[in-house]
Amino acid sequence: MMTRPELEGVIGHELSHIKNRDILLMTVAVVLAGFVALAANFFLRLSFFGGGRRNDRSEGGAILMILAIVGIILAPLAAKLIELAISRRREYLADASSALLTRYPEGLASALGKLGSYQAPMRSANLATAHLFINDPFGKKSGSSSGWIERLFSTHPPISDRIQALTGGRQS
């Protein structure tokens, strides 16, 4: 499906993830996200069991409990959104590093164009591994027409934005 320069661009992109230590960074992000969730869970349990020693609940204890419940709900969501934002930024970095490695950004831009126009889903697409692919494995068209919520929860930036960043706005 790809020419040699396009394949070199894709391989350069994937090697750039290794060179830039993206797996290490994402592991740290996941651990920090887990820590935030554990801290919220700790405060929720503290408000139930370790708060005031009196039998009647004071206003401070009720406020702490409400804040803990809100935190336990919002903390994992906020942590996941931060993790996804880091993932999208690392994709741009891997694209730029691939362009430096191959010295031919048009190869990766052309490969991304081909991958973006290919809409057939993979046979064994899985949500747990979707972030590992260079394109959406579910076959959805990832262009700039996607909504802001879809962009917020995506692991990769839109292909059209990546192509524009690689070519500097020039059409290849």
Q: Check if 59 is active-site.
A: no
* Rounded CA separation 148/81 (Å): 13
* Rounded CA separation 1/128 (Å): 26
Q: What is the pTM of this model?
A: 0.75
pLDDT in tens, 38-78: 887 787 777 677 655 555 556 666 777 787 778 778 887 88
Residues 14, 91, 106, 150: which is the catalytic one? Answer: 14
pLDDT in tens, 3-41: 999 999 999 999 999 999 998 998 898 888 888 778 877
Beta carbons within 10 angstroms of residue 82's beta carbon: 14
* Rounded CA separation 163/160 (Å): 5
Domain ranges of the chain: 4-167
Higher-confidence position of 109 and 151? 109
pLDDT in tens, 108-128: 999 999 988 887 877 887 777
Taking the CA atoms of residue 73, residue 146, residue 161 and residue 104 in that order, the dihedral angle to the nearest 10 degrees is 110
User: Are 17 and 23 spatial neighbours (Cβ–Cβ below 8 Å)?
Assistant: yes
